[in-house]
Amino acid sequence: QKEVEQDPGPLSVPEGAIVSLNCTYSNSAFQYFMWYRQYSRKGPELLMYTYSSGNKEDGRFTAQVDKSSKYISLFIRDSQPSDSATYLCAMMRIGYSTLTFGKGTMLLVSP
Amino acid sequence: EAGVTQSPTHLIKTRGQQATLRCSPISGHTSVYWYQQALGLGLQFLLWYDEGEERNRGNFPPRFSGRQFPNYSSELNVNALELEDSALYLCASPPRGTRSSYEQYFGPGTRLTVT
């Protein structure tokens, strides 16, 4: 079992839809949970991060972490064509220097 | 301030050759991470350099190596290229004053194609 599992998609939705992106993980030592967004031909950029459990909201984006289920989610409300990108979940243990990434989910939002 | 830069944008090599990829972190940032993003495998950690020293490496063979220069720029070398080395190689650095962080600033990557 890989440490971080993420469905590669693609996930196709119409503009305005609510999008749910998810990752599961196996290592309970992960404490930092991040979502990176990667547009085509670009490097990833940090979208949101959460420390430990709970929810975090930033505009149209909400990140959720359920450590008991080892499950994290990213919700996008009122999705826009400009949200079309690959979304990578990433995790990090305290005291460790490296991030562990999921494979990324490709999201396509059609006008 | 300028972001992380990488060169070249594209690199085409034949099997058995050597490839050299370069990265310049954001000015004042001293740590550099290298990642491989191969199709179907996701982003995998390769190497971490900080203050000129290799601090950690991922699960890759020794033919993947690199170095960090006094100006904090970095070079990734891949020897004896194999077809499966074809991937996007990304360089990243954490925020100024940190060695590691959940937040990393990525460059645009170098697309390496091995034929």
Paired tokens of A67: 């450590």
CB contact under 8 A, B40 and A8: yes
Residues of A in contact with B99 (CB under 8 A): 97
Contact A90 B102 (CB under 8 A): yes
β-pair partners for B47: B34, B57
Residues 75-94 in B contacting A (C-alpha not used; CB under 8 Å): 90, 92
Q: What confidence tier does B42 reach under pLDDT thresholds 50, 70, 90?
A: confident
pLDDT for B31 equals: 92
pLDDT of residue A14: 97
First vs last C-alpha separation in chain B: 37
3-class secondary structure, A82: helix
pLDDT at A35: 97
Neighbours of A58 (CB within 10 A): 9
Burial class from Cβ neighbours inside 10 Å (0-12, 13-18, 19+) for residue A16 reads: exposed
Query: In angstroms, rounded to a whole number, what is the distance separating the alpha carbons of residues A43 and A73?
Result: 21
- Where residue A96 falls among pLDDT bands split at 50, 70, 90? confident
- Tens of pLDDT, residue by residue over A11-54, are 999 999 999 999 999 999 999 999 999 999 899 999 999 988 88
